[in-house]
Amino acid sequence: MEEEIKIPTAEEQPEDVQETKTEEPSELTEEQQQIAALQAQLEEEKDRYQRVVAEYANYKRRTDQEKDQLGAFVKGEVLKTLLPSIDNLERAVSSPDGEDYKKGVDMVIRQFEESRTAMGLEEIPALGQVFDPEVHHAVMREDADGVEPETVTEVYQKGYRLGTRVLRPAMVKVAN
């Protein structure tokens, strides 16, 4: 006959065996807990990263929209200041009298000057000034009597700056 083998319960086992058996599952549990904690931390970091990426994409889209809106607004304001000048040019062209034509063109020039000044666009001084390659573009040189060398003697096209930025240098003739 076969003999029945009885497996002792945890309480029936000797103390040193009980400790060994309970330590192994608790170590695995600690390792599993560490793994679970690290996985949770990784998920949190992934979530935070995805939120930051989404926030940046939204920020970039918003700033691009604002930049486009601001550009359109500025264009509109500039064009609005030019409309009266265009109206006067049209009146001058439709005028049969030569004197009215001259008056109309003078009015347009005056209005352009007012608009230019109101927007902060400054004319670059050139005639009689010492040549400065930062703001003057020399297209000719001449031997001029009674004029210091490197002095602007003639202006072919006015130059303009907006604040410290040169929008267009003055096109000039310079004395040798």
Contact status, residue 109 vs residue 82, Cβ threshold 8 Å: no
The pLDDT value given to residue 4: 63
The pLDDT value given to residue 15: 57
Predicted model pTM: 0.56
Q: Which residues of the chain have pLDDT under 70?
A: 1-27
3-state secondary structure of 156: strand
How far is Cα 81 from Cα 92, in angstroms, rounded to an integer?
18
The pLDDT value given to residue 27: 66
The DSSP output letter for 129 is S
The pLDDT value given to residue 22: 47
Written as six digits, the tokens of 103 are 């008056």
Per the DSSP assignment, residues forming a β-bridge with 124 are: 159
